Amino acid sequence: MTKENYDFLQLKQYSTLYMTSCVHFYDPHASYSAFRPIAPILKNLADENQSFNAHTMGVHIRRTDNQKARIQSPFTLFIDAMKQEIQREPLTNFYVASDNTAVKLCLMNTFGERIKTNCEPVNRTTSQGMQRAVVELFSLSKTQKVFGSYWSSFSQTACEINGIPEITIRI
């Protein structure tokens, strides 16, 4: 259903409701405080974010199932943007979130100690993979800004959680 100014109060009549959307159907600046990760995820977040500082930038590189992101946000452009950021601020380090472990390993080889990441699989097919994605989402939200992938609500949501800037890397 796609009606402008739809009255969602009409949905109160149903005992069960399932909504899905690929776009915001609410104020995108609404608070995310209602979303609280469970204890094991909070522990992983604390462990993962302990080395973050005022110079930690987020990088989200979407690859596996998003063709638009792969085409419009090529890997080389992320490397170029990261090198420019280091030139601008030599103390810069990066938290990398990606659904592709090879991307993380390549960035670790390219930038060494500047890369903060975890190479556990991130995917939608296992509970562990989905929990890993939540850790990466909330970790990105704790950086100063995010270099994000084109056509990725993951990059955008991470930035909206704590109101940080997102810079979409694209051709």
Sequence ranges of the domains in the chain: 37-169
| pLDDT on residue 93 | 98
pLDDT in tens, 139-150: 999 999 999 999
| pLDDT on residue 3 | 65
CATH number listed for the domain at residues 37-169: 3.40.50.11350
| Max Cα-Cα span within the chain | 58
**Percent of the chain whose pLDDT exceeds 90:** 77
Dist. CA 59–CA 114, nearest whole Å: 12
| pLDDT on residue 53 | 98
pLDDT in tens, 100-146: 999 999 999 999 999 999 999 998 899 999 999 999 999 999 999 99
Could you please report the per-residue DSSP string of the chain? Answer: ---TT--GGGGGG-SS-----SS-SS-TTS--TT----HHHHHHHHHHHTT--TTEEEEEE--TT-HHHHHHS-HHHHHHHHHHHHHH-TT-EEEEEES-HHHHHHHHHHHGGGEE---S---SSSHHHHHHHHHHHHHHHTSS-EEEETT-HHHHHHHHHHT--EEEE--
Ranges in the chain, pLDDT < 70:
1-3, 21-30
